């Protein structure tokens, strides 16, 4: 089995049809033939996509929580930790 690593960021994910073939297009570089995919495979694909979305939301929430805790402690993050000076 060959493993391909691809980063597509916010590039589009669409279905394409050519003749009687259907493809799942992931960005500009990857096209997967799903013409003969079973319903089970398509359901698994949907579950994996849902898990990826959940994982991403968890990371966003964790980053927001870290920012909130830092703000409560008087820190501001902009690449390098910075503590605000005490106001007189």
Residue range 30-54, pLDDT digits in tens? 889 999 999 999 999 999 999 989 9
Residue range 11-23, pLDDT digits in tens? 888 999 999 999 9
To the nearest 5 percent, what fractions of the chain are helix, strand and coil?
40, 25, 35
The domain total for the chain is: 1
Report if residue 88 sits inside a domain.
no
The label of the residue with tokens 């902009």 reads 78
Report if residue 6 sits inside a domain.
no
Report if residue 58 sits inside a domain.
yes
Domain that holds residue 57: 13-83
| pTM confidence score | 0.58
Q: Count CB-CB contacts under 10 A for residue 26.
A: 15
């Amino acid at each position: 089995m060959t493993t391909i690593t691809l980063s597509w960021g916010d590039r589009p994910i669409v279905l394409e049809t050519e003749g009687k073939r259907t493809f799942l297009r992931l960005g500009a570089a990857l096209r997967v033939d799903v013409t003969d995919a079973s319903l089970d495979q398509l359901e698994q694909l949907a579950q994996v996509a849902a898990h990826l979305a959940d994982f991403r939301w968890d990371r966003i929430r964790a980053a927001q929580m870290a920012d909130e805790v830092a703000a409560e402690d008087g820190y501001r993050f902009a690449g390098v930790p910075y503590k605000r000076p005490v106001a007189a």
